[in-house]
């Protein structure tokens, strides 16, 4: 980077790195490097996939004008807002999962499935059976049970190869209709009629086990 680059804000320096890379390399590879450039400039704690992106002007123009920078910054801000929205959905799914487990008389394998859902939001009975060491029939019943809690929805009408997806993603991709009216107020956790701490500890343990399982594959 030129010496005068130090006078610019970190965001501009990160984008300038990608612009120079795009001029040399071409293709989509430079856009994939933007999350790493933002991380290297201290703007994010880790590379965020939602911030992948760039602009044609990076590759085609030697010098960017004000309109080019404005369009790029607006696009980057929009991607960041979408990423925050996705994070909010994941946190809401986690809270709803805790409530569903607490309200279940016999959670069984439900905590394992809900922990898996946070990592892999599109699931089939075959995949659940393989990952959670269940029969396909048992996995199908478990997915139907999660569907009954409102955490998952089935996006296929076939009985031989069924696909389930988290509700928010099903709405976003057009497999389900968005709820009308005002958003429902989230229910608070039920009164501790039994040892909920042990239930939540089990859920956290299942999350850790799913992490280990997926990282080992």
pLDDT tens column, 63-102: 778 888 888 889 999 999 999 988 888 888 888 888 777 7
Question: Order of strands, edge to edge, in the sheet holding 164-166?
Answer: 122-123, 164-166, 152-154
Percent of the chain with pLDDT over 90: 12
- CATH class as words, domain 86-178+194-215: alpha beta
Compute how many other C-beta atoms are within 10 angstroms of the C-beta atom of residue 214.
12
Lowest mean pLDDT: which of 12-21, 103-112, 118-127, 181-190? 181-190
Long-range Cβ pairs for the range 145-153 (8 Å, 24+): 145/110, 146/100, 146/110, 146/113, 146/114, 146/117, 149/96, 149/100, 150/96, 150/100, 151/93, 151/96, 151/97, 151/100, 151/114, 151/117, 152/117, 152/123
Give the pLDDT confidence of 7-41 residue by residue, as tens digits: 778 888 888 888 888 888 777 788 888 899 999 98
Give the pLDDT confidence of 40-59 residue by residue, as tens digits: 989 999 999 899 887 777 77
Helices (H), 122-189: 125-132, 136-148, 167-172
Residue 140 has pLDDT above 60, yes or no: yes
The pTM (predicted TM-score) of the whole model is 0.63
Q: What is the pLDDT of residue 164?
A: 92
Domain ranges of the chain: 3-64, 86-178+194-215
């Amino acid at each position: 980077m030129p010496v005068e680059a130090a006078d610019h804000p970190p965001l501009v320096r990160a984008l300038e790195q990608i612009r120079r890379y795009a001029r040399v390399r071409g293709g989509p590879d430079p856009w994939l490097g933007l999350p790493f450039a933002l991380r290297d400039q201290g703007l994010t704690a880790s590379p965020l996939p939602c911030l992948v992106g760039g602009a044609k002007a990076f590759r085609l123009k030697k010098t960017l004008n004000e309109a080019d920078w404005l369009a790029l910054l607006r696009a980057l801000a929009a991607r960041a807002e979408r990423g925050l929205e996705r994070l909010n959905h994941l946190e809401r799914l986690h809270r709803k999962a805790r409530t569903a487990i607490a309200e279940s008389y016999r959670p069984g394998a439900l905590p394992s499935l809900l922990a898996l859902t946070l990592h892999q939001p599109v699931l089939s009975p075959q995949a659940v059976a393989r990952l959670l060491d269940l029969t396909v029939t048992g996995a199908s019943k478990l997915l139907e049970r999660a569907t009954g809690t409102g955490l998952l929805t089935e996006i296929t009408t076939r009985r031989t190869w069924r696909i389930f997806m988290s509700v928010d993603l099903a709405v976003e991709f057009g497999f389900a209709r968005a709820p009308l009216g005002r958003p429902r107020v989230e229910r608070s956790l039920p009164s501790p009629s039994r040892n909920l701490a042990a239930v939540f500890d089990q859920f956290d343990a299942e999350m850790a086990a799913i992490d280990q399982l997926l990282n080992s594959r």
